[in-house]
Structures are given as structure tokens and as C-alpha cells.
Amino acid sequence: MFAAVESAADVWRFRPHPEVWLLVGSIVAAYWYAITRIGPRVVRRGEVVVTRRQLWCFGIATAMLWVGSDWPIHDVGEQNLYFVHMLQHMMFSYFMPPLFLLAIPTWLARLLVGNGRAYSVVRWLAKPIVAGVVFNVFVMVTHIPAVVNHSVLEGTGALHYGLHTVLVLTALLMWMPVVSPLPELRIGVGGQMIYLFAMSIVPTVPASWLVFAEGAVYSAYDHGPRVWGIDVTSDQQIAGLVMKVGGSVFLWTIVTVMFFTRFSKGWNDSNSYKRPRMPDAEITGHDEGPPLTYDDVTKAFDEVPVPPGG
């Protein structure tokens, strides 16, 4: 009994991850150097180096990277609860990547990619079909039981971090057609809505599998102690719901907002209950010159020639 209590308490024991701190610190330092040292020298005078919105996006994305990669989410998700592991995947594939892309100014993106071979490769990979297939194939791979079990049971965690790195890179690629810092890589709004809806279909497959599966799909999570008393089947079902809500519903929400933003332009004005103000030209009868007076009318009548016999 004592051993079980001790093991349960050990789940929440603080575990430092200096590699995560180094990664996050390096990203912050690189971004700060780019916008404070490089940007002012390459951006034309009068143009903004970085906007407040881009700074906010960078701050939120970086915080999300830190929280998702550090204790306790990383440790509990890797060793105890698969639904916490799924929360990591949602953060690294759907929430964080678009924020990082929105945080990069166009001038910085062009410096990073250039205009040579690297640009050609990125442009080809950012095509909607290519980016969507690459991302979704890797998502399916990360849910194969052998891959999950091996990455979780590996002592060093190198495979686990490696899978997360590839997941983030493929997710950045998947979001390129929608929020790329390079305008020429983005597709039209209508295409973006269709594209994001298509991206929401594939996650429903492993999500449904986890929700309706019987027994332990991933043996690496079928052990004690059970955190918060959640058994392995309930853990898998919650993970499937997280994937469904975090992936599909999130993308559907974006599509809905994009739809109403595009097709509701001018709707408020055309359907307003306020009486429109009559233009001055309709009140005076002419849009230029002084108003018409009685003397002007009399003079006009006097100048009209009288017909013979009138």
C-alpha cells in the first residue's frame, strides 16, 4: 500500500528539462535579435518592423511551446495519461504553429527562405495538396501503437522529442496555405475554407478508433498508478474526444468565422433599421452652384420667346 502511494506521489515530482529551457530561450533570443538588430536595417524607412499583433502571437506561441514541452504536461503525457499526450499534439499541430507563422514579418520570412533553391522547395511543399498529405500521413503514423509504445517506453525520450519536432514542422507546413508570412504562398479565402475543412476529416479516424476501442490500444499506458483514478479505457476515450474537439471543431470554427467575415461585408448597412440620411444634392435639386430662387425662375420665363399668336 505504501509503495503504491509513493508511486502515485512520484508522478507529480518536479523534473527539470533544461533542453526545453534552452530551446525556448534560443527562439526568444533569435526573434529579439531579428526584430531589433536586423529589421531596422532591412525595412524601408517609415515601415513597421513588427506589429503589436505579431508580438502577441509570438509570445502566446512561445508560451504554448514551453508549457507543452515542460513539466508536468510532458512527463504526465509521456508516462501516465494518453489524453494529456493528445493535448500536447493539439497544441503542437493546431494551436501553436499558426501563431508562430502569424508572428513572422514578411521581411523576416524572405530573409530566412531567400529566393533560391530553398524558396523553391518551400513553395512546392506549401502547395495545399502536398502540405495536407504530408501532415496527415505523419499524424496517422504518430498514432500507430508500435510507434507510440516505443516512443513512450524509450528511456532517453529522444524519439519522443523527435516525433514532436517533426509534428511541429509538418504542422507549420500544413498551415502555410492559410497564414503563411509570404503572401504568394497563401490561397484564396474560399480555397482556405475548403482546405481547412478537408484537414478536419482525417483526425476523426484515429479519434473514433480511440473512443470505441475496447481494451488498451497502447500498452505503454496500461500500468499503475492511475492518475486521478482514470482507467486506461477512459483515458483513451478522453484522448479521442480531445482529438475530435481540439482538431475538427477548432478548424470548423475557423472556417465558420472566415465564411461570415467574407460574406457578411455590407450586410449591416443594407439591413440596418436606421433611416439613411438624404444627400444634400437631393434636397437642393443640384449638386453644384447656388440654390434656385424665385427671381431665377421669373427671369427664365421672361427669356422664353412668345410663340406667334400667343
**Tens digits of residue pLDDT in 219-243:** 888 876 778 888 888 999 999 888 8
Q: Is residue 223 part of a domain?
A: yes
Residue 234 burial (CB count, 10 A): 13
Q: Is residue 212 part of a domain?
A: yes
pLDDT at 3: 36
Q: Is residue 147 part of a domain?
A: yes
- The answer to whether 100 and 172 are in contact (CB under 8 A) is yes
pLDDT at 208: 79
pLDDT at 41: 94
Q: Is residue 177 part of a domain?
A: yes
Q: Is residue 283 part of a domain?
A: no
**Rounded to 5°, angle at Cα 234 from 233 and 237:** 90
pLDDT 10s digits, 125-180:
999 999 999 999 999 998 888 898 888 876 556 787 889 999 999 999 999 999 99
- The answer to whether 222 and 216 are in contact (CB under 8 A) is yes
Let me know if 147 is exposed, middle or buried by CB neighbors in 10 A (0-12, 13-18, 19+): middle
Residues 6+ apart with CB under 8 A from 135: 93, 170, 171, 173, 174, 199
* Number of domains forming the structure of the chain: 1
Which of 79, 203, 220 shows the shortest CA–CA distance to 138? Answer: 203
Q: Which domain holds residue 116?
A: 12-264
Q: Is residue 292 part of a domain?
A: no
pLDDT at 112: 94
List of the chain residues with pLDDT < 50: 1-6, 282-283, 285-286
Q: Is residue 199 part of a domain?
A: yes
pLDDT at 290: 63
Q: Is residue 140 part of a domain?
A: yes
